[in-house]
Amino acid sequence: MEILKTLDFATWTPVLQNDEAVDSTRALESGQVALLPHLSFELAADERHLLSPQWSDGKAKNISYDPQTRMVKHTSATGADHEAIGRMMGRYAESAHKLVGSLFPAYAKGIRIGRTSYRPVEAGGRSSSIRKDDRLLHVDAFAASPVQGERILRIFSNINPNGKPREWTLGEPFDDLAPRFLPKIPKPFPGSSWLLKTLGITKGKRTDYDHYMLQLHDQEKLDSHYQQTCPKTAVSLPAGSTWIVYTDLVPHAVKSGQYCLEQTFYLPVAAMQEPALSPLRKLEKWVGRKLV
Ligand code: SIN
Ligand code: FE
């Protein structure tokens, strides 16, 4: 299977024939990265000054925006700059939302928009801990925010003004990755999901699915031998491009790059074109029981 599925659209509202939409959805669900090399997210003249690492608060990895509340978090910006960051990220959230609606019309009913992130800091720099280090190959899973079986679909745009690509590495297919690590993953501790929620460690119940995905995420990052020796492919994501990937399915790592916008979406497995391709259904098959 090709790693990239190139889509030649240069608009956030492309019009697809039905078979084209089925085809792009199948590519994504099968674990390809949909790359739109000519779809750039344009900044207005009075937004260019937002391209600086100074707007990060220096603690969190990313500046974060909630499209529902329009709240911006983890930025040092105040006043007009803070508002400008919110406007830029809000516009990105809207553009990304339109794009998924156009490319994957079958998802319209089930899809839910999550947080928007802006990544103005060089990604090749240092990280605070191995678990938080996205320069290591991993599938996405959130310790504090369980997805309870839902898919994590992400849209990224490289908005680097100097033509610098974002360099990623992609790992082996989930069908090779998960069975490799599953035997090392301890069973969820009875009562732990209740305890984590009661103590306020998780927002919502950490299901057995979340347990397995978080363990996969952690074990893959913590295994330095695996990181060095596993099958991998380098992918260069050009400045001025946009790409879409199921980051819960496709092991990925960012090696370098600066200035990126990202929009997260959640999708129930039942809303997929082919639910059997979900990490939930695959893990349930391997573990031999229901996980949510
Ligand atoms: C990640 O999602 O793991 C990091 C990707 C990036 O910042 O390019
Ligand atoms: Fe990730």
Q: Which ligand is nearest to the CA of 243?
A: 1
- Quote the pLDDT of residue 200: 85
Residue 246 maps to a domain:
yes
What pTM did the predictor assign?
0.97
What is the average per-residue pLDDT within 185-195?
86
Confidence class for position 147, pLDDT limits 50, 70, 90: very high
Nearest residue by C-alpha to atom 7 in ligand 1: 254
Domain span at residue 55? 4-287
Question: Which protein residues touch ligand 1 with a CB less than 6 Å away?
Answer: 119, 123, 134, 166, 247, 252, 254, 260
Nearest Cα neighbor of 99 from 15, 159, 32 is: 15
Rounded to a whole number of angstroms, the CA Rg of the chain reads: 19
- Quote the pLDDT of residue 1: 83
Residue 242 maps to a domain:
yes
Residue 23 maps to a domain:
yes
Q: Residue 128: pLDDT above 80?
A: no
Query: Would you say 25 and 273 are in contact if contact means Cβ atoms under 8 Å apart?
Result: yes
Q: Which ligand is nearest to the CA of 119?
A: 1
CATH code: domain of residue 145 = 2.60.120
Nearest residue by C-alpha to atom 1 in ligand 1: 134
Q: Residue 126: pLDDT above 80?
A: no
Number of helical (H) and strand (E) elements in the chain, helices listed first:
7, 11
Nearest residue by C-alpha to atom 2 in ligand 1: 134
Q: Tokens in use for 56?
A: 């990060």
Element (H, E) at 114: strand 112-119
Q: Average pLDDT over the chain, rounded to whole?
A: 96
DSSP 261: E
- Quote the pLDDT of residue 36: 98
User: Among the atoms of ligand 1, which is closest to the Cα of residue 123?
Assistant: 7
Dihedrals phi, psi of 245, to nearest 5 degrees: -155, 145
Confidence class for position 62, pLDDT limits 50, 70, 90: very high
The number of folded domains in the chain is: 1
Query: Would you say 167 and 236 are in contact if contact means Cβ atoms under 8 Å apart?
Result: yes
**SS3 labels along 165-180:** CEEEEECCCHHHHHHH
Q: What distance in angstroms lies between residue 54's CA and the mean position of ligand 2's atoms?
A: 23
pLDDT in tens, 15-45: 999 999 999 999 999 999 999 999 999 999 9
Residue 171 maps to a domain:
yes
CB atoms within 10 A of CB 8: 10
Nearest Cα neighbor of 4 from 243, 283, 223, 291 is: 243
Residue 292 maps to a domain:
no
- Quote the pLDDT of residue 207: 94
62 vs 121: CA distance, rounded Å: 8
User: Among the atoms of ligand 1, which is closest to the Cα of residue 119?
Assistant: 7
Residue 279 maps to a domain:
yes
Residue 77 maps to a domain:
yes
Residues listed for the chain = 292
Q: Residue 192: pLDDT above 90?
A: no
Confidence class for position 170, pLDDT limits 50, 70, 90: very high
